[in-house]
Amino acid sequence: MSRMTPFSSPLLLGFDAMEKTLERLAKSGDSYPPYNIERLGASDGKAERLRITLAVAGFAESDLDVTTEENQLIVRGRQTDDTEREFLHRGIAARQFQRCFVLADGMRVVGAELKNGLLSIDLDRPEAERLVRKINISVKD
């Protein structure tokens, strides 16, 4: 028996990667670090912007890494365990994380800022050009 998916229509060509991305997102269950995504209004004729804000208290700039890989925004955090300190109680663990956000075509990262334990990453999507292209039909005898 074959599996029916939203992208199994013969009219949707080349959406295999999107289907795999959706499956991967459904399997990811880690909720650390918490984050917000907000829409920033378009101003001065600029395109609409988005801001992703992650709560990364305890992480320094050198502990964080923000990269884009194909159509993904990847935020990694690595804290080193301080072995010189002796804890009587340790409720704040030094932990690592990796948070991935899938970006739509045309989305680009404008910048990132770390302030008061919050990492803000700004994205925008410039208006796409409407491209109409005539395809020549060749006739073979």
68 falls within a domain: yes
CATH at 62: 2.60.40.790
Residue 116 belongs to domain spanning:
31-81+94-125
Q: What pTM was estimated for this model as a whole? A: 0.71
* Alpha-carbon span 117 to 131, nearest angstrom: 43
61 falls within a domain: yes
* H or E stretch covering 75: strand 72-77
63 falls within a domain: yes
* Alpha-carbon span 116 to 118, nearest angstrom: 6
Q: What is the pLDDT along the chain (141 residues), one digit of tens a residue?
A: 556 666 667 677 776 766 776 666 666 666 789 999 999 876 666 677 899 999 999 899 999 999 999 888 999 999 877 778 888 888 877 789 999 998 888 889 999 999 999 999 999 987 777 888 898 999 987
What is the 8-class DSSP label of residue 114?
E
6 falls within a domain: no
- As for how many domains the chain has, the answer is 1
138 falls within a domain: no
